[in-house]
């Protein structure tokens, strides 16, 4: 049986405010000629404008949604309305499901089995290739490769082998960037103009270094702040550090070399990530944030392992107006395997597989369902321990721009949380202050260099309150 979600958690799944309003309009039993739940699947038939009702169902284990309505929004108002009734305990429990629901559930299970088999085959192939490479490699050479990028994307530079044409273009583009930064520091920060940054960003795009181009294109925003000289100099320093790190990546440890390539803009194949080792845990979904990047909307979903204490970030992208991934519900806990992208401080991850919470014991000897970890606030740390964690992440990856934290026993204020400053856009968090009532509580927040951005808190009954 899936723990019932709160109204806040359901409405947070809506793609926009109009969908929230529309969902509340159909969340009335009188509008549904049929509704039911098996504990893991919700289904219903909602009266529409046509002769036939709309068929809506939700697989609560992922979650996943299906509706026969023509809406392009995902999840649609009918799926959300069904969830709102379920959150209010207004959907009766049934032993069976209609045929159309059964067919959808079985088709999903079949696709999931095929995807799992594909991942397992890719892992077996990767393991065989690694074994074959190890047999061909001299132990001394293997040790050198391991310290300078191993058999990773950086291995070519570390072993002196010819690199791709793209690496040549990126090297030329970053060499120009280093010269430009030298000129900026020599001439003074006040001389920087917005058109210079735009032109440089375009040239970096041409040089196939989109990651660095994105950082340069955001420099114009820094000039809008009162403390812009110090912030601009700090941004220049990080960009220069990245350019030098790329030029000297053959000397870097493998994990750091991977981080540098990712920051520059070299992509990692999704299939390659899924073929790597996974981390299984009970992952608390701490919160999410959507932001527009050029013509895309990016969704950042933060997770943290209950037993490993490991943070994770699941990213998804979609063109503006198109649906984003809504399979991770804030305030819930999932038993899953996560595959992490390579790097010195691995954070971005993919959900490789989900498990029944009572399947078997986790690798650390803790049974997945033991202690009812799906209820209540996740384990947190003190502000001092949180700062130590962020410091460790920055030591591994100095270009880190955000990091998920769970703070325990903190009292929110108008400009701070447990003594740590809030991000300017997150100040005066009245909802958080109201939940607290002056008492300490557990808060999930996103650390950024400009301060914390609260994501979720938990009330006295252990219910997630989305901020």
180 contacts 146 by C-beta, under 8 angstroms? no
Quote the pLDDT of residue 138.
53
Query: What is the C-alpha separation between 442 and 462, in angstroms, rounded?
Result: 10
Q: Which residues touch 123 (CB under 8 Å, ≥6 apart)?
A: 275, 276
Considering only CA atoms, which of 157, 43, 152, 51 is closest in space to residue 94? 43
Low-confidence ranges of the chain (pLDDT < 50): 141-150, 158, 359-373
242 contacts 260 by C-beta, under 8 angstroms? yes
Please give the backbone phi and psi of residue 294, each rounded to the nearest 5 degrees, phi first: 55, -120
Which tokens is 452 given? 């914390």
pLDDT tens column, 210-219: 999 999 998 8
Quote the pLDDT of residue 279.
95
If you search the block for the tokens 């995807």, which residue do you land on?
115
Quote the pLDDT of residue 88.
93
pLDDT tens column, 384-440: 999 999 999 999 999 999 999 999 999 999 999 999 999 999 999 999 999 999 999
């Amino acid at each position: 049986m899936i723990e019932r979600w709160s109204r806040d958690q359901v409405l947070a799944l809506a793609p926009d405010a109009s969908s929230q309003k529309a969902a509340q309009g159909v969340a009335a039993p009188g509008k549904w000629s049929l509704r039911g739940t098996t504990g893991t699947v919700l289904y219903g038939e909602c009266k529409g404008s046509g002769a036939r009702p709309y068929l809506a169902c939700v697989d609560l284990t992922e979650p996943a949604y299906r509706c026969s309505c023509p809406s392009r929004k995902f999840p649609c108002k009918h799926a959300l309305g069904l969830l709102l009734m379920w959150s209010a305990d207004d959907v009766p429990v049934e032993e069976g499901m209609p045929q159309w629901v059964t067919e959808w559930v079985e088709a999903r299970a079949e696709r999931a089995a095929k995807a799992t088999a594909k991942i397992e085959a890719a892992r077996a192939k990767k393991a065989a290739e690694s074994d074959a490479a190890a047999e061909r490699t001299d132990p001394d050479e293997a040790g050198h490769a391991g310290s300078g990028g191993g058999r990773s994307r950086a291995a070519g530079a570390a072993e002196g082998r010819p690199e791709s044409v793209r690496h040549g273009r990126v090297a030329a583009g970053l060499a120009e960037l280093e010269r430009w930064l030298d000129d900026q520091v020599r001439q003074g920060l006040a001389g920087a103009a917005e058109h210079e940054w735009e032109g440089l960003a375009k040239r970096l795009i041409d040089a196939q270094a989109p990651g660095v181009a994105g950082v340069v294109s955001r420099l114009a925003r820094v000039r809008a702040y009162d403390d812009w000289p110090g912030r601009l100099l700090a941004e220049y320093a990080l960009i220069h550090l990245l350019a030098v790190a790329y030029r000297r990546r053959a000397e870097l440890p493998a994990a750091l070399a991977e981080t540098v390539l990712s920051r520059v803009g070299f992509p990692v194949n999704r299939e390659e990530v899924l073929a790597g080792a996974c981390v299984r845990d009970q992952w608390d979904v701490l919160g999410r944030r959507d932001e527009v990047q050029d013509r895309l909307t990016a969704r950042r979903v933060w997770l943290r392992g209950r037993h490993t204490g490991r943070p994770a970030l699941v990213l998804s992208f979609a063109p503006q107006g198109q649906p984003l991934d809504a399979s991770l519900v804030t305030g819930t806990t999932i038993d899953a395997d996560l595959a992490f992208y390579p790097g010195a401080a691995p954070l971005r991850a993919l959900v490789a597989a989900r498990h029944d919470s009572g399947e078997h014991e986790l690798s650390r000897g803790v049974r997945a369902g033991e202690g009812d970890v799906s209820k209540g606030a996740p384990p947190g740390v003190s502000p001092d321990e949180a700062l130590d964690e962020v410091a460790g992440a920055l030591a591994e990856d100095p270009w880190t721009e955000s990091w998920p934290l769970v703070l325990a026993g903190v009292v929110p204020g108008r400009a701070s949380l447990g003594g740590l400053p809030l991000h300017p856009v997150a100040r005066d968090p009245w909802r958080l202050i109201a939940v607290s009532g002056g008492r300490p509580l557990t808060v999930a927040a996103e650390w950024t260099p400009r301060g914390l951005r609260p994501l979720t808190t938990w009330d006295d009954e252990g219910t997630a309150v989305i901020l």
